[in-house]
């Protein structure tokens, strides 16, 4: 039995990353020193620091501290994605799904989304569900779509909650159920989804019995 946790050793690289991260996300937005931040992250990324590689990609993607450069963003996201960075995997999937910079490829999109989703990324879980629902990159399977929607819904994703409500309303991948449709529409509405609020109003007015 382990009675004491080993003291975490923070490397110099991790300490540099943390300081740059603090500069980027602490204090007033107007005072953020993006050029300095990017310079630190870029140096670390080139030495193989995983989180720095993702953030370098984000800087190129958004134009923070460096001229916006989507090909460079993709390159750095890919480096981080291949090492298992959840957010980078989702971004690579997004590139392939939307056909941004690269040729649209739903199979590759699903591949990267799934890797990210299995690590718990909410948007990836929802989008894997979406791909199964519409048969994009995978064989259409509404039951599997529902399973992935439920994973995202468990993390209170309003869009996944709405999608589940629609599945129960129309019987897609599940048995039709006004009770469960109403339940998920209510949850989505409480999470801020406007479409779900409209659905709730419709259900209260029509009172479906299926």
pLDDT at residue 10, as a whole number: 54
Least confident of 6-20, 45-59, 105-119, 155-169: 6-20
Q: What is the pLDDT of residues 186-208, one digit of tens each?
A: 999 999 999 999 999 888 888 77
**Rounded average pLDDT over 100-128:** 98
Cα(145)–Cα(56) distance, rounded to whole angstroms? 33
Say whether pLDDT at 1 is over 60: no
pLDDT at residue 17 in the model: 96
Residue 6 has pLDDT above 50, yes or no: no
What is the predicted pLDDT for the residue at 204? Answer: 81
pTM summary value: 0.90
User: What was the pLDDT predicted at 206?
Assistant: 83
Q: Bigger pLDDT: 68 or 30?
A: 68
Q: Highest-confidence range of 5-19, 30-44, 92-106, by mean pLDDT?
A: 92-106
């Amino acid at each position: 039995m382990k009675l004491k946790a080993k003291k975490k050793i923070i490397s110099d690289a991790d300490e540099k990353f943390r300081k740059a991260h603090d500069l980027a996300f602490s204090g007033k937005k107007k005072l953020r020193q993006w050029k300095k931040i990017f310079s630190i992250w870029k140096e670390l990324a080139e030495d193989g620091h995983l989180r720095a590689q993702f953030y370098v990609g984000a800087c190129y993607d958004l134009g923070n501290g460096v001229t916006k450069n989507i090909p460079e963003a993709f390159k750095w996201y890919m480096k981080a994605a291949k090492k298992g960075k959840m957010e980078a995997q989702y971004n690579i999937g997004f590139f392939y799904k939307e056909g941004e910079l690269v040729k649209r490829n739903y199979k590759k999109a699903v591949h990267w989304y799934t890797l990210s989703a299995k690590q718990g990324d909410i948007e990836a879980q929802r989008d894997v569900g979406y791909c199964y629902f519409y048969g994009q990159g995978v064989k259409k399977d509404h039951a599997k779509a529902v399973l992935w929607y439920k994973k995202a819904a468990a993390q209170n994703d309003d869009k996944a909650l709405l999608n589940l409500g629609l599945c129960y309303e129309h019987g897609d991948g599940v048995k039709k159920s006004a009770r469960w449709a109403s339940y998920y529409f209510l949850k989505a509405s409480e999470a801020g989804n406007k479409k779900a609020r409209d659905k709730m109003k419709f259900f209260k007015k029509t009172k479906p019995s299926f």
